[in-house]
Amino acid sequence: MPEDSGANRSVKKPWYIDGFGAHYLELYAHRNEREAEQALKLLTLAGLPLKGLRVLDLACGGGRHLRQLRRRGAKPLGLDLSRPLLEEAQKNLPRDLSLLRADMRKLPLQDETFSLVLCMFTSFAYFQSDRENWSVLHEVARVLEDGGHYLLDFLNRGSLQIQAESEREGEHFRALESRRIEKGRVHKKVRILDRVTLEEKLEYEESVRLYSRSEIRDAAEESGLTLVQEWGTYLGDPWEEGKSPRLILLFQRVPR
């Protein structure tokens, strides 16, 4: 993602530039190591040993999945666009564990480099066009070796129930959130306030495209990825369209 220049400062930044700052780690602290550990157990259910595997954690955030991957003997690389989240990851990870700042639509990585790519906790469908979102699948397929796997953890459109208004509070920040579904996307307007003074620090609107299982499967197949397994929870429960809280899909790259 290019830095702003004098010629484009008036252009509105994409929401994910502001949305994953220092406040994010504090307000989403419930997304913790225990949840990451449980999610990675799905790979064991699928018969995929992690020891020795070269793994790309796409949109790695603060590094909670990276830590779990390392503990299981994998060789992970963490990639994210957010500087604050990568800085947080760096504080809590071994020095020899690599981190990379880049845009997932154009990965600065060689072809057929990884045995496994992870994309966890709805780190997909942030972009405005289908072409941009599907380009992520093309890039994942490109960097996977033949027979490699891609684990995509996404929200389940068929069971999605949004809370119109909510608040979150951390040590330093308070977030006021309002949600709506419009034109096939879920929008969440977020106001970040100082917890003590209530001074507004930041305002942005998250926007995620609501793809169905079949839409993702078909686009993945066009990229050379075949759906091999699916779950509806991190506990490994079967996926049910109108019931499951998550849509967790495991793909395998078709040998070329």
Q: Given pLDDT bands bounded at 50, 70 and 90, which one contains residue 8?
A: very low
pLDDT(9) > 60: no
**Which pLDDT score is estimated for 31?**
63
What mean pLDDT value characterizes the chain?
A: 92
Cβ–Cβ < 8 Å for 63, 33 = no
- 164-175 residues labelled b (16+ CB within 10 A) or e (exposed): eeeebeeeebbb
Q: Which residues contact 28 (CB under 8 A, 6 or more apart)?
A: none
**Would you say the pTM of this structure is higher than 0.75?**
yes
**Which pLDDT score is estimated for 212?**
97
Q: Give the helix ranges, DSSP H, for 103-233.
A: 130-143, 213-222
Query: What are 17-69's pLDDT values in tens digits?
Result: 989 988 888 877 656 678 888 989 999 999 999 999 999 999 999 999 999 99
What span, in angstroms and rounded, lies between the C-alpha atoms of 62 and 170? 17
Q: What is the largest CA-CA distance in the chain?
A: 58
Query: What are 162-209's pLDDT values in tens digits?
Result: 999 999 898 899 999 999 999 999 999 999 999 999 999 999 999 999
Q: Which residues contact 87 (CB under 8 A, 6 or more apart)?
A: none
